[in-house]
Structures are given as structure tokens and as C-alpha cells.
Copies of this chain bind each other. A is one copy, B any other.
Amino acid sequence: MSLSELSYAIDTLFILVSAALVMWMAAGFSMLEAGLVRSKNTTEILVKNILLYALACICFLNVGYQLMYGNSTPSDYAPNAYIFFQLVFVATAMSIVSGAVAERMKLSMFLIFAIIMTAVIYPVSGSWVWGGGFLSQLGFIDFAGAGVVHMAGAAAALAGVLILGPRKGKYGHSGAVYPIPGANMPLASLGTLILWFGWLGFNGGSQLTIHNMENANSVATIFLNTNMAAAAGALAAFLITRLIWRKADLTMILNGVLAGLVAITAEPAVPSVLSATLIGSGAGVIVVLSIVALDRLKIDDPVGAISVHGVVGVYGLICVALTSANASLSNQLIGAAVIFTWVFSCSLIIWWFLNRAFGIRLSVEQEYTGADIAECGVEAYPEFVSAKGR
């Protein structure tokens, strides 16, 4: 036993704990989405979330990892810890998509897209930033993946939503928006709190080592900043909804939490704790405005994923230019644009092709009856009488 072995052990433990927390985020997305869809589509969204996680692990491990990182393996900690940590990141990106396309997409089409996204699309743009590719050489900074993971997921989601169209009954004539409330608010809140918890591992673990004072201090700062950004996001979203609508809209507050988390993800270690709070507050405001704006544009996103991960992802990348000496605004914008263009175009082509070839949308009758009966055969709450009929 030597100092360096102990250091190896502690870094491995640190990464494994972080990776476990990120794995746990799968439960966060599952519960968040299960809470925000109607009860007739709840079983199906759970199936999607579990299978996308499974597929992400298998596809990225066997294909994507190689594409993204080549054959390099770390030596300061267990390589398999690193691989596990990377796996769960891909699943996060894919989880973002499932929420945005919920309640109307065929399960099979979604799974096919998940395979391509996690095996190819994500790893390619990921390699540009984290695999030593041209964006990293340019000086584009994205510490834990506000762009690589979150905005990428949102870009794929946006492409899907554009091809798919809104849920039946969401938009009326002359700009009317008919809200479609989710069935289970405690579940949505639980999901958000799981994500808050897991995000400490997502951002903290991205430091990858903790074995000396400098790294330990960084990791601690990341934990604190991540938490403060989320808190500030919640509060800002609350204040603005209360200001505009005089009500405390829970789902907006939940989106505010997630927006704070996404925004700080781009660079959680450098800002002061006050800056992190401000970054989070900005995210909380932006996400509320963005959700309303997307609804005006008839872009139907049941859980707000495009706003939370996409719009706020870009905002987070821009913030890095303000807080980090090494970053420049232009590089951050170029990086964001490159990733977005790549993921969005690939996704658009694939969704479009799948739609032409097989149709990606449930039939009107199936959408009306609900994806649970159509795809899964069992309802989420079979014993409870629903006040909405179908």
C-alpha cells in the first residue's frame, strides 16, 4: 500500500459515488415525466425511461465510448469507474428527449432514435469537446455538459417535436393554449428533487479527482455552487410567476430548479458562490419566459425540456464567458452553435426519415385512448376513477 494507491482508491471511490448519483438521475427523469404527463400515458413514459437508460448503457459502451474517447483510458483511477460515469451521462441526454416527445410518439420509433443518439450522435459531438476534438482546442469550455449533454439532448428533442407536432387539443384557433395538466404533482416534485440530489454527482464527479487539496476544494465549491444555483433558480421562477400570474405555479418552480442546475453545469467550479446564485436566478427567469414563448410558437413540450435544457443550456455556456477568465464569449457561442447544429440536423433527418418510413406518431385513436393501453397494455393507476374520462 502506498500513497499513490490510496489516492487511486479515493478517486475511484469518488467517481463511483458520483456515477451512482448520476445513475439515480434516471429515477429523477422517470418520476418528473411520469408526474407531468396525463395518467393515460404514464406507464408508457416509464417504459420509455427505463428502456432508454438500458439502451444508452449498452449502445454507448459498445459503440459510442470508442467514438468519443478512442482507446484512451485513465490511469489515476479505475478505468471502469470512468466508463460507468460516462455511460450514465449519455442516459441523461437521452432522458431529455423522452419528456419533450411524451404522450404522442410510438415507443418503437423512440427506441430506434435512442439507439442512434447514444451510439453515434452524442458521442461525435461529445468527442469534439471532451475527446480532445476541435472545440476543446478552440477553447470552448463546458465543464460538466450544459452543452454536450443538456443542450444536445434538447436539440434532439426539438427536432423530434417539430416533426411530431403538438398533442391533440393543446392549441386552439387564434393562439389559444389549452393547458394539459400532469396527473401527479408529488411525483414531479420527487423527480426534481432526485435530479437536484443526483446533479451533485453529475457536476461534482466531473472534476474526476479529489485526491489533493486543490481538487478537494474544487469539488466542494462545485457542490456548493450547484446547490445555490438550483435554489436561486427555484426562487427566481417563483417570484416571476407570482409577479405575472399571482400564483405559485409548482411546475414552473420545478423547472426553475432544473434551469439553475443546467446553467451552472457549464462551469460550476470557477464562479464565486454569489455568482452561482445570480447565474441560477437568471436561469429561473429565462426558463419561465422560454416556456411561455415556446407555447406561443406552438412547440408543445409537456415537461419543458427544451426550455430547461436547451435555452438555459445556451445561457449557461454564455455565463462561462462572464465568470471564467479562460473563456471568451465568441468561443462559447461557436461551441454552442456547432453542437446544436450537429445534433439538431442529424436528429431532424432521422426523425424525418422514421416518420416517412413508419410514422412516428400514434394514431389519433391511440393518442385519445392513451399510450398505456396502446403500447403497454396496462394502465398506470388501474383502480382510480379518472375525472377526465379519456
Query: Interface of A with B (CB < 8 Å)?
Result: 1-10, 12-17, 19-21, 23-24, 26-27, 30-31, 34-35, 38-39, 42-44, 46-47, 49-51, 53-55, 57-58, 61, 77-81, 83-84, 87, 107, 181-187, 189-190, 192-194, 196-197, 200-201, 204, 210-213, 215-217, 219-221, 223-224, 227-228, 230-232, 234-235, 238, 245, 247-251, 253-254, 257, 273, 277, 375-388
Contact = CB atoms under 8 A, between A and B. Distances in A.
Given A54-B231, A250-B43, A385-B384, A1 B212 contact: yes
A58 B185 contact: no
Contacts of A192: 50
Given A185-B378, A387-B385, A197 B27 contact: yes
A24 B27 CA distance: 14
Nearest to A204: B16
A23 B250 contact: no
Contact of A381 (B7, B87, B183, B210): B183
A310 to B, nearest CB: 23
A24 B38 CA distance: 27
Contacts of A234: 50-51, 53-54
Given A30-B190, A81-B223, A220-B78, A10 B10 contact: yes
A84 B222 CA distance: 10
A342 B382 CA distance: 40
22 contacts: A1-B212, A8-B213, A9-B216, A12-B219, A16-B223, A20-B223, A30-B193, A34-B186, A38-B383, A50-B234, A54-B231, A54-B235, A54-B238, A61-B273, A87-B227, A181-B382, A181-B383, A183-B381, A383-B386, A383-B388, A385-B386, A385-B387
A24 to B, nearest CB: 5
Contacts of A61: 228, 273
A222 to B, nearest CB: 9
B211 A5 contact: yes
Given A42-B186, A77-B216, A50 B9 contact: no
B197 A20 contact: yes
Given A54-B231, A186-B34, A21 B21 contact: no
B383 A224 contact: no
Nearest to A56: B231
Closest 7 pairs between A and B when the two form their complex, measured CB to CB:
A78-B220, A27-B193, A54-B231, A80-B220, A81-B220, A247-B377, A12-B216
Contact of A78 (B16, B219, B228, B380): B219
Contact of A250 (B10, B190, B376): B376
A223 B80 contact: yes
Nearest to A181: B382
Contacts of A5: 211-213
A211 B6 contact: yes
B385 A235 contact: no
A367 to B, nearest CB: 16
A50 B212 contact: no
